[in-house]
Amino acid sequence: MRVSPDVHDALDAGRPVVALESTIIAHGLPRPRNAAVAVELESLVRESGAVPATVAVIDGVAHVGLGKAELDRVAQDGAMRKLGARDLAAACALGASGATTVSATAHLAARAGIRVFATGGLGGVHRDWTSTQDESADLALLARTPIAVVCAGVKSILDVGATLQRLETLGVTVLGYGTREFPGFYLRSSGHPVDWTVDGPAQAAAVLRAQEELGVASAVVVANPVAEAAQLDPALHDRVLAAGLAAAGREGVSGQAVTPFLLAYLTEHTAGASLEANLAAVRGNVRAAAEIAGCL
């Protein structure tokens, strides 16, 4: 694992650091927009007073903190694999390159000593779980990794209620960030309530400090809804998502390909509106993560 010099220095000096994942760049957003977004998210972290640490595996080295050339490689190299935590050792030992999902990013970031991580939406339990048993490895990894993940809930392509139940079973703390309702990724609300609400970065940081003091080694999900003006029209969302799920079934999309397929389907069939909502959510999460890291 290689921690970049600026991330290393910031951690050493106790300055705020925010980890960013790379799967959203390589597999979650369309090219060429993704390359600009990778740079934009890092700038947003800096403007918000923290040091960005984008995580990816490049030529067998797990990087925490990327340079511009490496960020471009993640965005542009079509051969970048999608790596969960279970893939890290194989990728490094065999000299492979890949973007890291929430699970792999959270693992590497926590190992580097980073306490806050921002993304769009967590993976979770897929709607056809009873037949496919498809549950993102994000959930089990968060159960054993002490890090705050600032996200707009879980992706709405999933079974949100089942995912919340699994987070409870796995012992992952869930905080609504200024909301009593669990966010719905592209939408402000998923319709599901949360047990705990924090009013801003200081309270979120206080929960993280308490987790550390109490020796609770699981993650804290900080669920931050997309801004009202930026959310996707709920009726459009429901209609296009139903069509996308049907298309995925017809085309036999399975495993790691399901999430990228559905995100791309939504982008195409909402004429880019879902992409804008996704980006707005990520930007909001990056800002909130930097503020929380600052309070810590």
- Residues flagged as binding site for Mn(2+): 134
Rounded CA-CA distance 74/262 in Å is 21
Identify the CA nearest to 163 among candidates 200, 202, 205, 123.
123
By beta carbon distance, the residue nearest ligand PSU is 120
Active site residue 276: no
Q: What angle do CA 133, 135, 137 make, to 5 degrees?
A: 130
Element (H, E) at 273: helix 273-295
Provide, rounded to whole angstroms, the least separation between the CB of residue 285 and ligand PSU: 9
Active site residue 42: no
Collapsing DSSP states into helix, strand and coil, what is residue 189? coil
Fill in the per-residue mask, 107 to 146: x = in contact with Mn ion (CB under 5 A), - = not in contact.
---------------------------x------------
By beta carbon distance, the residue nearest Mn ion is 134
**7, 11, 19, 23: which one binds ligand PSU (CB under 6 A):** 23
Which of Mn ion, ligand PSU, none interacts with 28 (beta carbon under 5 to 8 A by kind)?
A: ligand PSU
β-strands 51-58, 173-177: how paired?
A: unpaired
Which of Mn ion, ligand PSU, none interacts with 138 (beta carbon under 5 to 8 A by kind)?
A: ligand PSU
Identify the CA nearest to 7 among candidates 99, 97, 104, 109.
109
How many angstroms separate the Cα of 93 from the Cα of each of 4, 42, 60, 96?
Answer: 20, 28, 6, 8
| Ranges within 46-105 binding ligand PSU (CB under 6 A) | 101-102
Q: From the centroid of its chain, how far is CA 182? A: 15
φ/ψ of residue 64, rounded to 5:
-115, 100
Give whichever of 215 and 255 is closer to Mn ion, judged by the CB atom. Answer: 255
Which of Mn ion, ligand PSU, none interacts with 231 (beta carbon under 5 to 8 A by kind)?
A: none
Which of ligand PSU, Mn ion, none interacts with 98 (beta carbon under 5 to 8 A by kind)?
A: none
Fill in the per-residue mask, 108 to 127: x = in contact with ligand PSU (CB under 6 A), - = not in contact.
-----------xxx-x----
Provide, rounded to whole angstroms, the least separation between the CB of residue 207 and Mn ion: 28
E strand spans, the chain? 2-3, 17-20, 51-58, 61-64, 81-83, 98-100, 116-118, 148-151, 173-177, 196-198, 220-223
**70, 138, 159, 291: which one binds ligand PSU (CB under 6 A):** 138
Q: What angle do CA 284, 11, 223 make, to 5 degrees?
A: 25
Question: If binding means CB under 6 A, how many residues of this protein chain bind ligand PSU?
Answer: 19
Identify the CA nearest to 178 among candidates 153, 196, 166, 154.
196
Rounded CA-CA distance 250/284 in Å is 35
Catalytic residue among 42, 70, 135, 155: 155
| Ranges within 222-281 binding ligand PSU (CB under 6 A) | 256, 259, 263, 278
Rounded CA-CA distance 95/75 in Å is 19
34 contributes a contact to ligand PSU by CB under 6 A: no
Give whichever of 10 and 142 is closer to ligand PSU, judged by the CB atom. Answer: 142
Rule CB under 6 A: which residues touch ligand PSU? 21, 23-24, 27-28, 101-102, 119-121, 123, 136-138, 256, 259, 263, 278, 282
Rule CB under 5 A: which residues touch Mn ion? 134
Q: Give catalytic residue positions.
A: 21, 155
